[in-house]
Amino acid sequence: RQFLTATAVAGGGLSGLYTFGNGSDLSAATLANKPRLKMPSLLDTRQTKTAELVAQKGSSTFIGNAANQTFGFNQPYLGPTLVLENGDFNPVVKNQLSRPISVHWHGLLVRGEHDGGPHIPVIEGQEWRPEMLVNQAPATLWYHTHIHQQTAHDVHKGLAGIIHLTDGRDDDRSLPNTYGVDDVTLVLQDRRFDDRGFVSYELSMPDLMHGFTGETMLINGQYGAVCSTPKGIARLRLVYGSNAKIYSLFFEDQRDFQLIATDAGFLDQPQSLTKLPLAPGERAEILVDFSSGQPAMLMSDGDPNQGPGGMMGRMRGMVDLFVDRSISILPFAVDEQLPTRITSFPDQLEGPGISLREQDVIQTRSLSLDMGMMGGGGGGGGFAINGESFDMRRINLEVALGTTEKWRVQTTMLSHPFHIHGAIFKVLSEEGNAPLKHNTGFKDTVLVRDQTELLVRFDHPASQQNPFMYHCHILEHEDAGMMGQFTVS
Name the site residues for Cu ion (rule: CB under 5 A): 106, 416, 421, 472, 474, 477
In angstroms, what is the minimal distance from the CB of 160 to ligand C2O?
9
Q: Is 269 exposed, middle or buried (0-12, 13-18, 19+ CB in 10 A)?
A: middle
Per partner kind, with CB cut-offs from 5 to 8 A, the member of ligand C2O, Cu ion, none near residue 477 is: Cu ion
Query: What strands lie across the sheet with 296-300, from one edge to the other?
Result: 227-230, 327-335, 296-300, 247-251, 276-278
Q: Which is nearer to Cu ion, 97 or 482 (CB)?
A: 482
Q: Which is nearer to ligand C2O, 286 or 469 (CB)?
A: 469
Q: Which is nearer to Cu ion, 97 or 474 (CB)?
A: 474
In angstroms, the CA 243 to CA 192 distance is: 12
Per partner kind, with CB cut-offs from 5 to 8 A, the member of ligand C2O, Cu ion, none near residue 283 is: none
Please state, in angstroms and as integers, the Cα–Cα distance from residue 156 to each residue in 153, 197, 244, 330, 426, following that order.
Answer: 5, 16, 10, 20, 29
Per partner kind, with CB cut-offs from 5 to 8 A, the member of ligand C2O, Cu ion, none near residue 472 is: Cu ion
Per partner kind, with CB cut-offs from 5 to 8 A, the member of ligand C2O, Cu ion, none near residue 245 is: none
In angstroms, what is the minimal distance from the CB of 321 to Cu ion?
19
Q: Which is nearer to Cu ion, 207 or 289 (CB)?
A: 207
In angstroms, what is the minimal distance from the CB of 104 to Cu ion?
5
Q: Which is nearer to ligand C2O, 245 or 421 (CB)?
A: 421
**Could you give phi then psi for residue 330, rounded to 5 degrees?**
-165, 130
Q: Which is nearer to Cu ion, 354 or 447 (CB)?
A: 447
In angstroms, the CA 244 to CA 118 distance is: 20
Q: Which is nearer to ligand C2O, 104 or 192 (CB)?
A: 104
Please state, in angstroms and as integers, the Cα–Cα distance from residue 113 to each residue in 116, 207, 438, 471, following that order.
Answer: 7, 33, 32, 18
In angstroms, the CA 460 to CA 109 distance is: 7
Q: Which is nearer to ligand C2O, 290 or 470 (CB)?
A: 470
In angstroms, what is the minimal distance from the CB of 446 to ligand C2O?
13
Q: Which is nearer to ligand C2O, 191 or 473 (CB)?
A: 473
The 10 Å Cβ neighbour count of residue 439 is 18
Q: Please name the amino acid found at residue 417.
A: P
Per partner kind, with CB cut-offs from 5 to 8 A, the member of Cu ion, ligand C2O, none near residue 144 is: ligand C2O
In angstroms, what is the minimal distance from the CB of 468 to ligand C2O?
9
Per partner kind, with CB cut-offs from 5 to 8 A, the member of ligand C2O, Cu ion, none near residue 406 is: none
Judged by DSSP in three states, 358 sits in helix
Q: Which is nearer to Cu ion, 106 or 457 (CB)?
A: 106
Instruction: Mention every residue, 6+ apart, whose C-beta is less than 8 A from residue 470.
Output: 367, 385, 397, 418, 419, 420, 421, 483, 484, 485, 486
Per partner kind, with CB cut-offs from 5 to 8 A, the member of ligand C2O, Cu ion, none near residue 484 is: none
Instruction: Mention every residue, 6+ apart, whose C-beta is less than 8 A from residue 94.
Output: 52, 53, 54, 55, 122, 126, 127
The continuous run of DSSP H or E covering 331 comes out as strand 327-335
In angstroms, the CA 274 to CA 276 distance is: 7
Judged by DSSP in three states, 437 sits in helix
Per partner kind, with CB cut-offs from 5 to 8 A, the member of Cu ion, ligand C2O, none near residue 474 is: Cu ion
In angstroms, what is the minimal distance from the CB of 45 to ligand C2O?
20
| Longest CA pairwise span in the chain (Å) | 61
In angstroms, what is the minimal distance from the CB of 432 to Cu ion?
21
In angstroms, what is the minimal distance from the CB of 361 to Cu ion?
23
Per partner kind, with CB cut-offs from 5 to 8 A, the member of Cu ion, ligand C2O, none near residue 443 is: none
Q: Which residue is nearest to ligand C2O (CB)?
A: 106
Per partner kind, with CB cut-offs from 5 to 8 A, the member of ligand C2O, Cu ion, none near residue 234 is: none
Contact 141, 163 (CB under 8 A): yes
Per partner kind, with CB cut-offs from 5 to 8 A, the member of Cu ion, ligand C2O, none near residue 471 is: ligand C2O
The distance of Cα 291 from the centroid of its chain, to the nearest Å, equals 28
Contact 115, 468 (CB under 8 A): yes
Residue 103: strand pairing partners: none
In angstroms, what is the minimal distance from the CB of 254 to Cu ion?
30
In angstroms, what is the minimal distance from the CB of 365 to ligand C2O?
18
Contact 45, 51 (CB under 8 A): yes
Contact 122, 94 (CB under 8 A): yes
Q: Which is nearer to Cu ion, 68 or 151 (CB)?
A: 151
Per partner kind, with CB cut-offs from 5 to 8 A, the member of Cu ion, ligand C2O, none near residue 235 is: none
In angstroms, what is the minimal distance from the CB of 86 to Cu ion?
19
Q: Which is nearer to ligand C2O, 292 or 465 (CB)?
A: 465
In angstroms, what is the minimal distance from the CB of 84 to ligand C2O?
17
Binding site for ligand C2O (CB under 6 A): 104, 106, 144, 146, 281, 419, 421, 469, 471, 473
Contact 10, 23 (CB under 8 A): yes
